[in-house]
Amino acid sequence: MKKVKLLFVMLFIMLTASLNANVPLIGGQVIIEPGQSDAEIEHWFKIMHDNGMKVTRIRMFEEYMHVGDQWDFTLFDKAFKAAEKYGIKVFATLFPSTPNNSIGGFKFPLDDAHERQVVTYIEKTVNHYKNFKCLLGWVLMNEPGMGGELPKTDYTKRKFEEWKKQQTEPAYQSKGYTKLVNFDEERFLVDYTTWYLGWLANEIKKYDSDHEMHVNNHQIYDNVAEYDFPAWRPYLTSLGASAHASWHFGYFKRQQYPMAMFANCSIIRSGAGELPFWITELQGGNNTYSGYRPFCPTAEEITQWMWTSIASGTQGIIFWSLNPRSIGEESGEWALLNFQNMPSDRFEAASKVALFMDKNRKIFEDIRPFEADVDILYIRESLWTERKIQYGDLDDSTYEGRHKGGVMKSVLAFYEMLLENGVNASIAEINEYDWDKKDYKGKTLIIPNQITLPSSQWEHLRQFVKKGGKLIVEGLTSFYDENMLCLFQTGFPLQDVFGGSLQETKCIPGDFTMQFGSDKVNTHLWKGYIYNQKGKIIANEGNKITATRHQFGNGEVVWIPSLVGLGGRRIGNYHPLSNFILKEIQELSNHRFTRNYPGIYMQSFNSGKNNYSLVINKSGAQKNVELKAPASKLIYSDKNGHLSRTMLTIHPEECMIIQWK
């Protein structure tokens, strides 16, 4: 009898563990407004429950719960009670009032009185909702990020002056040259954002230290230079992102949106460090008058964006939104449900993915992306510099690499090229990379066109190469220091590491090709020539050297001071560059394609003891894709694709998940 009881206990424990497994949660933002009926509110939570969705996000509008001296939480209580009834977890987003009550919210207090209002709002709201069992956590603020501009308020001006007084003179002084460019505002904005998010977290912890603390950035490819993710980690339990193609993916064509999602996830995953990350807002519906590029996602795109996020290791996805706002900005837009509160084709697509994961929990428990074969670094100061020095016709595409965005597009070019080879890569800010290893043998870093290389990173790169790392440097990387001193003009500090210095760079508007062995590599705008001292020449034009390889310590630097990444991106052909770069990566997994397949993206991940890859076809045609190693099983296909050991047959717009031997 005791054995039988023990067996039941073990089965119960196993069942409980299965139910609590860390499978990514799927859900939608529920917009709560005065005028909604009790039946409507309950319907939204029931329809999520019935379709495999287990999480929501609710924006806690102070305007709808605080009038005059009276606080009335009745409207939001209905939503929380419905969430508890249907087993839906809630992320509650703090949303104190501002004069215009914008859909995006404010990023810093307007004045001291507004700061006191925020304190009171947090006290009232957190104390009221902290005991609801459905509460998962608090979103500190909706979408921090100012687009590089400081608020024009006396409050911010005062904080700026206080910050200046706390700064000390840096030891490095650009070799004694006069500093003509000042990046104080940019550095302050990074610290200001970090301070305010921490301040909000501390205010919440006065009343609730048990629930999660979360924040979702936005417009990642523009705003990332404002974010110091490692500095946020001490007061967060997870990091998130808004990923709206119509607002945030302006650097991409529509067929590249899955790649944009992969890159977005990679940046956030790196920023989160050991913390989990979420896609806190994912575009769920049509734009009418909002968005830079209004459009309506297809059901296929919803499926693709979800799988890219899941394969990247997200803990959850919350669509913006389940139901549309009824009044004001974005009213009648963005929703998964139609105006009759019934599922759209997009909702049905999201539900299918959620239910598939639920039925295959063992595959999707605790997904972890493969360790990257190669890391691609961006540098915050490069984005600052690029923004600072814009002149001329920004609409002239022949100068794309020189315009705002050229630095980040170079990073994205190399990332896309590697995805089209099925090679796992990560994107990280240079300060997020682990520079403390004793040995970098087998590690490859790519630094594409990062025009500013701060003095704080010179020794890091020196030691990385010296300890066995492979460094691939492209474009105008290291042209400036942090004060816009031209490093090649004043004695290049890494000349011994690179094996030489830059002789000159020529501006050639538009696109051209450069010879690399038997391949002509597409190049854009800038052609750099190397003043070579110790490097081995790997590309040249007569007596002009265009690329070198240099051994330093136990490692190596490959240097191409021309825009070969952006050159391939602009014409949609990475094949020649790919032939060269893949030979340079120190250690490559065999879980990849045999060659570059334009418009076919692959991301690999593991779960438990098994390895998997997600493959998406955005090429516009059916493709036969050859794998470097045999795969054992087709786990998922939404268009009846086929796997035969090392050959995938994949249809246009199809998502497939394969399991490797």
221 inside domain: yes
DSSP 41: H
- Could you tell me if 528 and 559 are in contact, meaning their C-beta atoms sit under 8 angstroms apart? no
| 620 shares a domain with 474 | no
Which CATH number covers residue 85?
A: 3.20.20.80
For the chain, the straight-line distance linking the first and the last C-alpha, in angstroms and rounded, comes to 43
d(CA 425, CA 557): 19
| 355 shares a domain with 380 | no
d(CA 217, CA 637): 32
* Ramachandran class of 136: left when φ > 0, alpha when ψ lies in -120 to 50, beta otherwise: alpha
Residue-by-residue DSSP string for 288-354: SS-SSS-----HHHHHHHHHHHHHTT-SEEEEE-SS-BSSSTTBT-S-SB-TTS-B-HHHHHHHHHH
| 611 shares a domain with 490 | no
589 inside domain: no
d(CA 644, CA 316): 32
DSSP 6: H
15 inside domain: no
Which CATH number covers residue 644?
A: 2.60.40.1180
Phi and psi for 571 in degrees, rounded to 5? -100, 0
Q: Please report which helix (H) or strand (E) contains residue 584, including its range.
A: helix 575-584
The pLDDT score that the predictor gives to residue 104 is: 81
547 inside domain: yes
Domain boundaries, position 470 = 374-584
CA–CA–CA angle 576, 577, 583 (5° rounding): 105
Helix (H, G, I), strand (E, B) or coil at 240: strand
Beta-carbon count within 10 A of 115 CB: 15
The pLDDT score that the predictor gives to residue 98 is: 83
- Could you tell me if 649 and 641 are in contact, meaning their C-beta atoms sit under 8 angstroms apart? yes
Beta-carbon count within 10 A of 537 CB: 12
Sheet (strand 647-650) strand order: 623-626, 647-650, 642-644
| 629 shares a domain with 558 | no
| 607 shares a domain with 575 | no
Residues in the chain: 661
d(CA 455, CA 490): 14
121 inside domain: yes
Residues of the chain scoring pLDDT < 70: 1-21, 100-102
| 334 shares a domain with 378 | no
421 inside domain: yes
Interacting residues of 62 by C-beta distance below 8 A, sequence separation 6+: 95, 96, 97, 121, 125
d(CA 56, CA 61): 16
Could you give the C-alpha distances from 14 to 1, 9, 386, 566, 621, in angstroms and in order? Answer: 20, 9, 55, 51, 45
| 475 shares a domain with 426 | yes
- Reading the block at residue 483, the tokens are 């004060």
- Reading the block at residue 623, the tokens are 């493709």
Could you give the C-alpha distances from 45 to 74, 133, 240, in angstroms and in order? Answer: 17, 15, 23
2 inside domain: no
User: Which residue, 367, 400, 418, sits at the end of a domain?
Assistant: 367
The pLDDT score that the predictor gives to residue 101 is: 62
| 379 shares a domain with 260 | no
User: Which residue, 367, 399, 424, sits at the end of a domain?
Assistant: 367
User: Which residue, 367, 385, 418, sits at the end of a domain?
Assistant: 367
Helix (H, G, I), strand (E, B) or coil at 410: helix
93 inside domain: yes
Task: State pLDDT tens for residues 177-188.
Answer: 999 999 999 999
Could you give the C-alpha distances from 231 to 171, 223, 234, 437, in angstroms and in order? Answer: 22, 16, 7, 21
Residue from 611, 645, 610 nearest 627 by CA: 645
Tell me how far the alpha carbon of residue 597 is from its chain's centroid: 23
Q: Please report which helix (H) or strand (E) contains residue 537, including its range.
A: strand 536-541
| 360 shares a domain with 293 | yes
| 141 shares a domain with 57 | yes
* Ramachandran class of 262: left when φ > 0, alpha when ψ lies in -120 to 50, beta otherwise: alpha
Number of compact structural domains in the chain: 3
Which CATH number covers residue 447?
A: 3.40.50.880
The pLDDT score that the predictor gives to residue 16 is: 35
Q: Annotate 167-201 with b (16+ C-beta within 10 A) or e (fewer).
A: eeeeeeebeeeeeeeebeebbbbbbbbbebbbbbb
Bridge-based pairing state of the strands 55-61 and 25-29:
parallel
The pLDDT score that the predictor gives to residue 193 is: 98
| 526 shares a domain with 436 | yes
Question: Look-up: residue for tokens 């595959």?
Answer: 363
Residue from 517, 536, 524 nearest 474 by CA: 524
- Could you tell me if 354 and 348 are in contact, meaning their C-beta atoms sit under 8 angstroms apart? no
- The amino acid that residue 424 corresponds to is N
| 314 shares a domain with 244 | yes
